[in-house]
Amino acid sequence: MVRPSQLTFDRGTLILHPPPRGKAWFDFATWDDRIERFRIPAHHYRTVVEALRADQVPLDDQAAQFQTLTLDHQQPWPPYPHQQAALAAWVKARWRGVVVLPTAAGKTYVAQLAMGKTPRSTLITVPTLDLMHQWYEQLIKAFPAADIGLLGGGSRDRSAILVATYDSAAIHAETLGNQYGLLICDECHHLPSSFNRVIAEYAIAPYRLGLTATPDRADGRHSDLDQLLGPIVYELQPEDLAGTTLAPYEIVTLKVALSRRKNAIATTA
């Protein structure tokens, strides 16, 4: 009888031992002489598990510690067509990818719909404490019976649905990485920074959703979102929704002449 390979989580990486037959997993692995085991970056969890299952390799998966949830979504209104389309595009992309929608187009509601489609322990990251509390208040209304908590600003919950600032999630990434099956990154253009990216790299989350109105970064690292969360699966600009979902708008350029004194202050600053 073939001994199953055991997959465990260790501080943002996966350890696979004994080495299984086949080569489907080998391209992701590196040998660690210190423990005499193969290590695999945690974000390859889904790919590796699917490859081993396809090869019918006996696997003892001890890495995944996230839960299946029962979520009763209290929807205050039916989703708008663009929200339904964004969700459908994300599902079609196998529950990975980035949704780009303008401000006030209901990205948070899309995230709630995604949580209903993949009812697993969920980690949600946001850039500021204000946004963290906004998300928390909306989630309490959307899922009143769920276990929802905060990580950041003095809160250190480890609940089934956790809203965290990017800073706090990055600091605790090594211990959070195997606890959540769905990773949602709001304002996900913040994720590819050198500090924040470990949130996704150390996570095994098989389901990943990025939300943003402005995916591009000046340093070009927005291209890393493909690996960290998945490609852009749905995108609309303000003009696509203006006059229907969003109010009509007009862009006006205002030119301001500065006094010499203000110019001097600006130059000194």
Strands (E), 141-242: 148-152, 155-156, 161-165, 182-186, 207-212, 232-235
Q: What is the pLDDT of residue 248?
A: 82
CATH: 1.10.10.10, 3.40.1170.30, 3.40.50.2000, 3.40.140.10. Which one for 5-61? 3.40.1170.30
| Residues in contact with 83: Cβ distance below 8 Å, sequence separation at least 6, in sequence order | 106, 109, 110, 113
Within the chain, which residue ranges are assigned CATH 3.40.1170.30?
Answer: 5-61
Within the chain, which residue ranges are assigned CATH 3.40.50.300?
Answer: 81-241
Q: What is the pLDDT of residue 88?
A: 98
Q: What is the pLDDT of residue 23?
A: 77
**What is the pTM for the complete model shown?**
0.91
Chunked into runs of 10 residues, the chain (269 residues) has average pLDDT values of 88 94 84 95 96 91 97 92 98 98 96 97 98 98 97 97 98 98 98 98 98 95 97 95 82 85 48
Q: What is the pLDDT of residue 27?
A: 87
The continuous run of DSSP H or E covering 218 comes out as none
The values of phi and psi at residue 224, to 5°, are -70, -15
Closest to 62 measured CA to CA, from 49, 51, 50? 49
Q: Report the distance separating Cα 87 and Cα 150, nearest Å.
A: 25
Q: Report the distance separating Cα 199 and Cα 7, nearest Å.
A: 20
Q: List helix spans (H) across 118-176.
A: 129-142, 166-171, 173-176
The correct answer on CATH 3.30.390.30 for the domain covering 81-241 is: no
Classify burial at 67, counting beta carbons within 10 Å of its beta carbon; exposed 0-12, middle 13-18, buried 19 or more: middle
